[in-house]
Chains A and B, each alone.
Chain A
Amino acid sequence: MKQKRSVPLFMISNLNVVSTISLTIALVCVFVSRNNQFLSLGNIFNLIQQNAALIVVAVGMTFVVISGNMDLSSGSLIVLTACITGIIYSETGNIWISLFACVLASTFIGMINGLLIAYLRINAVIVTLSCMIWARGLALGITGASSISIPSKLLSAIYRPFAFGFINISVCIVLFVLVLGWFLLTQTKFGRYTKAIGESEKATDLAGINTKMIKWIIFTLAAFLTGIASVVDLARLGSAVTTIGANMEMNAIVAVVIGGNRLSGGEGSFSKTITGLMFMCVLSNGLSTLAVTDDKLYLIKGIIILGALAVQMVCNIYRINYLKRFNEN
């Protein structure tokens, strides 16, 4: 029998998304009051542009989270691959080879991480945490903590608008990645198995599915997308600076989780990730428009994120109890 689909039930079932959207709207109100330009088309567009890399990383992170894992390596992989790109560019002058190497390097490291996690069964947090540490160290060590400029016209073309005054290649990349992610998750066996693994790896194994390979692919995919994000960020900044990709993994995980994807896995969708991304983008962009010093910025951002996470958890508890009572009747 079909469940009664009423508006209140819909709201409660999707309480996480609803609450995040409400929070986002609240934030928007606060920021608009400080700066009437906040909701202008130009600023919205700016928002997406600044966070293009984050969106790409978050797509990969969504798969990781739905499978019940976490990937802490994104930020450091971006720094490392950016440096490699910079070095190769200064040696060869060929932007295509450099960018190709960027994505290749990232994917390769992802494959190794995936191997350790899926086949050697080492905890994903430890593997990606150590990757976070060694990749950044290696990157800073190689470059001596100085930035490498990449003055390639082709690279900066990624951010040059070619249609409607604002569509550029980075927007296309973001859209493509989002659609690709959605397709993989909802329309392919891979996506289905990702959800299955997140719910119960044991039961999925019993069904004869090769869970190890799926996990390996998930981490490889996340790293591949991180490589693409690195390219996008390089294009935005024009050079491989030491702060590139800073906090990327944290922002990505928070975006994925605040949108309502559960860290325990099994549940998740891109609409949730997008909601979370909206929240994070509005938060970062809005905070930067406030005339606040860096230190206060940290404090406010930290408190808001913790608060939003707390709201998520409370929503979960409330929703589970409500649905339990609803199903009993």
Chain B
Amino acid sequence: MKAITLKIVRKETVSGFFAKFGIIVVALVIFVTFSLLTNNFLTIDNVFNIFKQVAIVAIIAIGMTFVFLIGGMDLSAGSNVLLGAVVTGALITSGVMDAFPAMIVAIVLCAITGLINGFFIEVLHINSVIATLGSQLAIRGLALVIISNYNQWIWMNKDPLLKHINVGKVLGIPVIFIIVIALYLLAYIILTKTSYGKQVYAVGGNEKAAKLCGLNTVRIKVFCYCICGITAGIAGIIAACRLGMVNTNVGTGMEFDAVTAVVLGGASLKGGEANVFKTFTGAIIVGMIANFMTLYGVGPNYKSAVTGAFILLASIINRMTQNETV
């Protein structure tokens, strides 16, 4: 009897360790491997570059983490990114408002689309994959309708705030870094130190029990989709600043990168198991792979191929260490 308990304890500790730190180990391994394989990888400039490229997906991944926590998926995130970028650009270019208020309006709009997603999924009980595949069309359509008034292309250099976000530095650290880190900290605080965050983990962990604890599970879940909309909007604004302009390709496919980051971070599709730092590590891995392939001169399409393969690998590893369906 004692022998059996010892075996179980050891297995739990090992897989527990893997579940907690596995992803960081993987990230480090990749980092070291890539550094050894090519000279240009380990330069300060390159590392900064990785962070800058990863920033946008990393921000979307925050919202996606919330959605995964309650057992859903938001495949309309990429279109929301486009919407955020387009609305900001349109408002600034048409002179209706300054940069900052324009950004607020864009974010609010994206929050509303997130709420609508939440409504279809949690109130009408439409499967999250299908519902967000549908809303993806509608949101993209809306964004495209707006941008068609500007000939498919909005120039974003008018306002100095935009330039500051793109290349500005505060105390030597690029503004984009600060934004990403700030958002992650905020998400961490919300998830671990606020009542809402703990309720999200409860609903994701055992929805029946959460309801029997008196929690309003519908409201909690809908708000997660709202958060996803908000982060997508913010990511859209930053993408626009980085590019210096907005065209119809902004945000395409970004929902998949975000999902990759979250899954690499060990999240379970059933909910209740996700963690913003692991998601961040996942995003970094995605970024490192993309960067490495660019350095190696590999085309962007192969990046998708590798990303997809990585999701599979990550889920297999998750499956092995957790003995649950991921």
Contact = CB atoms under 8 A, between A and B. Distances in A.
A–B proximity contact (CB within 8 A): yes
Interface of A: 70, 72, 116, 120-123, 125-127, 129-141, 144-145, 250, 253-254, 257, 263, 293-303, 305-306, 309-310, 312-314, 316
Nearest to B324: A121
B94 to A, nearest CB: 18
Contact of B259 (A129, A250, A253, A305): A129
Q: In the complex, which of the residues A129, A140, A296 has the most CB atoms of chain B within 10 Å of its own CB atom?
A: A129
A116 B316 contact: yes
Given A130-B312, A313-B125, A138 B302 contact: yes
Q: Closest 6 CB pairs between A and B? A: A134-B308, A137-B304, A299-B141, A302-B138, A295-B144, A298-B141
A250 B263 CA distance: 21
Interface in B188-234: none
Contacts of A121: 319, 325
B89 to A, nearest CB: 15
B49 interface: no
Contact of B319 (A122, A253, A313, A316): A122
B131 to A, nearest CB: 7
A125 B325 CA distance: 11
Given A134-B304, A310-B126, A299 B144 contact: yes
Interface in B119-151: 120, 124-127, 129-131, 133-145, 147-148
Nearest to A311: B124
B269 interface: yes
Contacts of A145: 301
Interface string B313-326: 00110010000011
Interface residues of B, number: 47
Contacts of A293: 148
Contacts of B326: 122-123, 126
Q: In the complex, which of the residues A70, A135, A138 has the most CB atoms of chain B within 10 Å of its own CB atom?
A: A138
Nearest to A264: B127
Contacts of B126: 309-310, 312-313
Contacts of A253: 130, 133
Nearest to A130: B311
A137 B130 contact: no
14 contacts: A116-B316, A126-B326, A133-B260, A137-B302, A141-B299, A141-B301, A295-B145, A296-B141, A297-B141, A298-B137, A298-B144, A299-B140, A299-B145, A303-B141
A310 B120 CA distance: 7
Given A144-B299, A309-B130, A299 B142 contact: yes
A140 B259 CA distance: 21
A294 B301 contact: no
A306 B120 contact: yes
Contacts of B307: 133-134, 137
A141 B133 contact: no
A123 B325 contact: yes
B315 A295 contact: no
A306 B316 contact: no
Contacts of B315: 122-123, 126-127, 130
Q: In the complex, which of the residues A120, A135, A293 has the most CB atoms of chain B within 10 Å of its own CB atom?
A: A120
B46 to A, nearest CB: 23
A314 B119 CA distance: 13
A133 B135 contact: no
Contacts of B141: 295-303
Given A126-B315, A133-B308, A309 B144 contact: no
Interface string B57-84: 0000000000000000100000000000
A264 B240 CA distance: 40
Contact of A134 (B137, B144, B305): B305
Contacts of A122: 315-316, 319, 325-326
Interface in B10-59: none
Contacts of A257: 130
A298 B140 contact: yes
B4 interface: no
B311 A129 contact: yes
A306 B76 CA distance: 13
A177 B306 CA distance: 34
B309 interface: yes
B184 interface: no
Nearest to B310: A130
A263 to B, nearest CB: 5
A306 B123 CA distance: 13
Contacts of B136: 302
Contacts of B302: 137-138, 141
Given A141-B301, A263-B127, 17 more contacts: A70-B127, A122-B325, A126-B311, A130-B310, A134-B308, A135-B308, A140-B299, A144-B299, A298-B141, A301-B138, A302-B139, A302-B140, A305-B134, A306-B134, A309-B130, A309-B131, A309-B134
Contacts of B148: 293, 295
Nearest to B303: A137
Given A122-B319, A293-B148, A303-B138, A138 B305 contact: yes
A129 B131 CA distance: 16
